[in-house]
Amino acid sequence: MRCPFCGNDDSQVKDSRPTEDASAIRRRRQCPACGGRFTTFERIQLRDLVIVKKSGKREVFDRDKLARSIEIACRKRPVQPERIERMVNGVVRRLESAGENEIDVGRVGEMVMEGLQALDPVAYIRFASVYRDFREARDFETFVGGLAVHGPHPRLDEE
């Protein structure tokens, strides 16, 4: 693992243990070159997933990118980081267990929308405004007006 401080490729594991939800291994590492200490999280990956964008471009699925987009939607909201992590794990599990290597970006977006609707209504609307590309206030009105009609979706953070 590359040292984030000096770029040395050879770090030493000093401590290793599972995370609280057992979804990853937490490793404390030390760089022998500069002495810097850092933490890494290693996850089991069941299969290589490829996201097919709207343009047709294919991109390797990036769990961290998914987590960042959900965290941005939840920024300054009373949502505990553990719930975001459970939601991300739930989306990733659903994608990996779908049995497909190539997944349409729209399917991922809909899964995130379902999870955020159950997690926090403001985060749900924030994500939807970007995902659905709202251009005018009228788009928000239409979307929010339809919320009561559709009702809640199953929770992804409790799978």
CA distances from 102 to 52, 70, 112 (A): 7, 21, 17
Specify whether 122 is located in the same domain as 100: yes
- List, for residues 48-96, the tens digit of each pLDDT value: 899 999 999 999 999 999 999 999 999 999 999 999 999 999 999 899 8
Model-level pTM? 0.65
Specify whether 63 is located in the same domain as 31: no
Specify whether 74 is located in the same domain as 114: yes
State the DSSP string of 78-128: S--HHHHHHHHHHHHHHHHHT--SEEEHHHHHHHHHHHHHHH-HHHHHHHH
Q: What percent of the chain has pLDDT over 70?
A: 91
How many structural domains does the chain have?
2
Q: Comparing C-alpha atoms, which of 21, 20, 16, 17 is closest to residue 93?
A: 21
- List, for residues 9-36, the tens digit of each pLDDT value: 999 999 999 988 777 899 999 999 999 9
CA distance 4 to 29: 11
Specify whether 30 is located in the same domain as 77: no
Mean pLDDT of the chain: 87
Confidence bin at 130 (pLDDT 50/70/90): confident
CA distance 12 to 36: 11
Specify whether 63 is located in the same domain as 130: yes
Specify whether 34 is located in the same domain as 89: no
Specify whether 60 is located in the same domain as 131: yes
Q: Domain of 21? A: 12-42
- The amino acid sitting at 19 is T
Specify whether 21 is located in the same domain as 71: no
